[in-house]
Amino acid sequence: MEKLIERFLHYVKIETTSNENSKDCPSTSGQIEFQNMLADELRSIGMHDVEIDLNGYLMATLPANTDKQVPAIGFIAHVDTSPDFTGRNVSPQIHVYKGKSIVLNAKKNINLTAKEFPVLANYLNHEIITSDGQTLLGADDKAGIAEIVTAMEFLIKNPGIKHGTIKVAFTPDEEIGRGADHFDVQKFGVDFAYTLDGGGIGELEFENFNAASARISIQGLNVHPGTAKNRMKNSMRIGMELNSMIPNNERPEYTDGYEGFYHLTEFNGSVDFTKLSYIIRDHDKQEFTRKKELMIKIVDHLNIKYGAGTVKLTMFDQYYNMREKLEPVMFIVELAQKAMNAVGVTPRIKPIRGGTDGSKLSFMGIPCPNIFTGGINFHSRYEFIPTQSMKKAVDVIVKIAELNAL
């Protein structure tokens, strides 16, 4: 346990924020520096075939120690942290939650409270780790990395626990949607895998959103407002009109569970020219298609109203619901459930209201459910992780390896 926490506290201090505006892979130099450090660590604990490829993907192998023919399994986490909030100069703090507000930063009056985040009440008298409130913590996904490395070290030091071949992979740029883009499936060579990239203890996920991106440009006509009657086309107002035509109850702030949404992520413009960006999400394939078709109809309507070519839409699919690929091999999910139950964790199967490397990997040929790391409030200054949840994640990894070899 001490080594696990020591690793995590060290990892989060390394800046690895990804950058969606970069064309490089990894998108930032800090990620490859972190990968190099992790490669050295994996070699030092006794992992085999440790290698970082030209795209910054780190893979390593723990050879089987059983003569039984059992499936090769993988455990995957990502090294980057979200660009949604700064990950520079992370200063982790350890607290024991006693039911009162946790002071993250006294000078700036930044506190973590159960009133704002009711989930905190589940961890009364637990030891939790936070940042100092000025950065995210980085448990997404450095907790997953620390848990995988610690589990591998435990298996190496305890050869009495029989297991088949285990592969680990640490990927770059997951937070900007590129985590699986250059993943060498053939080289990884597993029958199935698990991403360690989930949230609170017990989370087990085998379905996620279908996802699309919609980028809209609106060409207006800017003339002097004093002589604008029947001439001016204010592109910002057309953009506002477009947004008003999207069903109000299909926005993120009004949806939950399996409900999908349209999410306006960018609106920049002037009278002459405006840009809007949306992400479109739904678990159900038919509803996903309906949402995309509605966006096309809205754009077509506005072009009839304001003139052909006024509104231009570029829309493309980003990823799909991995449930399609996992339903035929549900024993993988059941294996994780059994492992959780065996170590005293209650499985909480729920849909991911987002994406995961496991989604793309499942469609690339590696069925890949997602397992909890223990972290809460990802991408936020209020991110925290209970140390006991991290320990349980290590136990689950070890137990999956053990049960897979029975």
Residue 356's pLDDT is what? 84
Band (pLDDT 50/70/90 cuts) for residue 40 is very high
Q: What is the average pLDDT score of the chain?
A: 97
Asked if residue 398 lies in contact with residue 161, where contact means CB atoms within 8 angstroms, the answer is yes
Q: How many angstroms separate the CA atoms of 115 and 121, rounded?
A: 9
Q: Would you place residue 354 in the very low, low, confident or very high pLDDT band (cuts 50, 70, 90)?
A: confident
Report the pLDDT value the prediction gives residue 3, as an integer from 0 to 100: 95
Percent of the chain with pLDDT over 90: 98
Confidence of residue 355 (pLDDT cuts 50, 70, 90): confident
pLDDT exceeds cutoff 90 at 115? yes
Distance of alpha carbon 15 from alpha carbon 206, whole angstroms: 30
Percent of residues, the chain, with pLDDT higher than 70: 100
Question: Which listed residue (15, 41, 80, 147) is catalytic?
Answer: 80
**Once rounded to an integer, what is the mean pLDDT over residues 8-25?**
96
pLDDT of 270 > 90? The answer is: yes
| Residue 319 contacts residue 174 (beta carbons within 8 Å) | no
Q: How confident is the model at residue 55 (pLDDT cuts 50, 70, 90)?
A: very high
Question: 274 pLDDT exceeds 90?
Answer: yes
Give the alpha-carbon dihedral of 62, 66, 68, 74, to 10 degrees: -20
The mean pLDDT value for 49-77 works out to 97
Type of residue numbered 154: F
Does this model's pTM top 0.85? My answer is yes
Element (H, E) at 212: strand 210-219
Token pair for 232: 């001016």
Sign, Cα dihedral of 32, 33, 34, 38: positive
pLDDT for the residue numbered 1:
81
Closest CA to 146 of 48, 20, 32, 13: 13
Give the span between the Cα atoms of 237 and 220, in whole angstroms. 9
The pLDDT value given to residue 58: 98
**How far is the CA of 394 from the CAs of 11, 383, 387, in angstroms?**
16, 20, 11
Instruction: Kindly report, residue by residue over 118-158, the tens digit of the pLDDT.
Output: 999 999 999 999 999 999 999 999 999 999 999 999 999 99
pLDDT number for residue 2: 87
> What does the block give as tokens for 368?
């890949």
Annotated active-site residue in 41, 132, 173, 174: 174
Nearest CA to 213 among 125, 332, 109, 295?
A: 295
- Residues 358 and 338: their CA atoms lie apart, in Å, by 20
CATH numbers and ranges of domains, the chain: 2-207+321-404 (3.40.630.10), 210-319 (3.30.70.360)
pLDDT confidence of 402, banded at 50, 70, 90? very high
Residue 174 falls in the annotated catalytic set: yes
Please provide the distance, in angstroms rounded to a whole number, between the alpha carbons at the two ends of the chain: 26
Span 80-89, average pLDDT = 96
Q: Is the pLDDT of residue 177 over 90?
A: no
pLDDT (average), residues 239-265: 97
Is the pLDDT at 236 greater than 90, yes or no? yes
Instruction: Categorize the per-residue pLDDT at 295 as very low, low, confident or very high, splitting at 50, 70 and 90.
Output: very high
Q: Are 358 and 369 in contact (CB under 8 A)?
A: yes
> 129: Cβ–Cβ under 8 A, 6 or more apart, which residues?
5, 8, 9, 92, 93, 94, 95, 137, 139, 384, 385, 386, 387
